[in-house]
Amino acid sequence: MIRFGIAGFGHHAIKRLMPAFAKATRCRVTALSRRNLEGAQASAQQFRIQHAFASTAELCACPEVDAVFVASPDARHKADVLEAASRRKPVLVEKPMAMNTAEAAEMVTSARTAGVLLGVAHNMRFEHSVLWFRARVQAGAVGRPLLARATFVAPMLSSPRTWVHDPKLATGGPLADLGVHCIDCLRYILDDDVASVAMQAHYDEHSVLEASASGVLRFSRGTLADVAVSGRGAYQTLLEVIGESGVLFGINALNVEHPITLEHRRGFEVVERTEVMNYDVYTLQLDAFAAAIEEGIQFLVPGREGLCNQLVLDAAFRSIKSGKAETVPDARDFLHSVLS
């Protein structure tokens, strides 16, 4: 049984992580940290967690913490991960992994040097809907993927996570918070890396960060994927892959609370229709990370995958500024340049 400490025990920990830990079979929470000790102690009492701390350093030093889940704001991810690595504690960090690629690379190299497992909490790789898409693409059910689409909209202005509108704490607006899910899901479904990004954004009076963004990812094997995100609408998502011989489609395919109908079509004919639920995705992610620690097996989203997504995000933000398509560096080359 892996004992987790949650660094940055806020809204996400309360809404998603604690219900997931309650159902997990391979891990449990023994400690938490918040910036305010009084608040940490109150949360620990509410959720019957044994240890409460006012810093990540204290949490990582606790002998009853085997692994750390970093759920702090984006700007604190690097420091929290480096602290866990320095204490030789495996660490699972929320997405987006970091504020930029340089930070993500430092996190990967620090964990590698310390010899500890670093994972990124791209929970949607564990979704039954995403796995349905990936299995059919890999099996050649729609032939060579030509086009793909991922859309993610959420009402971020009403989110209890008020820090997501602060450029000192957040990697970006919906492009970083929601779009990184789209990027990761498409990379995983297509089993391919992004070669270039052409992105545009819209800004409004509510934040200096983008309100909406839309663009095209060009994958290395030629698939063109539309990614569209917004933080100004009601929750809705969409996934689609169009191949030479068929189409995979799912409305609200990236949600964890409502049933999803998935379709495989050839022309106007529906050859497969199925319904799935993703309610257990956070628990699956936690137990998978615990299994990776206990059994020494590979975690589905290691730090390098988070770095790959960060490279795409950085290219997307460069594209917004330059007004042209931007190349996405290869993760291995980038790490080599950092280490040399």
Residues 6 or more apart whose CB falls under 8 angstroms from that of 217 comprise 183, 186, 194, 196, 197, 224, 225, 227, 312
Ranges of the chain whose pLDDT falls below 70: 335-340
Report the predicted TM-score, pTM, of the whole model to 2 decimal places: 0.94
Helix, strand or coil, per DSSP, at residue 211: coil
Q: What would the two tokens of residue 241 be?
A: 């892959």
φ and ψ of 301, to 5 deg:
-125, 80
Strands 224-230 and 118-121: unpaired
Q: Where are the domains of the chain?
A: 2-123+283-300, 124-279+312-327
How far apart CA 255 and CA 248 sit, in angstroms, is 17
CATH topology of domain 2-123+283-300: Rossmann fold (3.40.50)
CATH topology of domain 124-279+312-327: Dihydrodipicolinate Reductase; domain 2 (3.30.360)
User: Residue 128 is inside which H or E element, if any?
Assistant: helix 128-138
φ and ψ of 150, to 5 deg:
-140, 125
Residues 6 or more apart whose CB falls under 8 angstroms from that of 154 comprise 174, 178, 230, 231, 233, 235
Strands 194-202 and 212-219: antiparallel
Closest CA to 188 of 141, 239, 243, 143: 239
φ and ψ of 275, to 5 deg:
-120, 135
Question: Dihedral angle at the C-alpha atoms of 231, 247, 139, 305, nearest 10 degrees?
Answer: -20
Residues 75-124 have pLDDT tens digits of 999 999 999 999 999 999 999 999 999 999 999 999 999 999 999 999 99
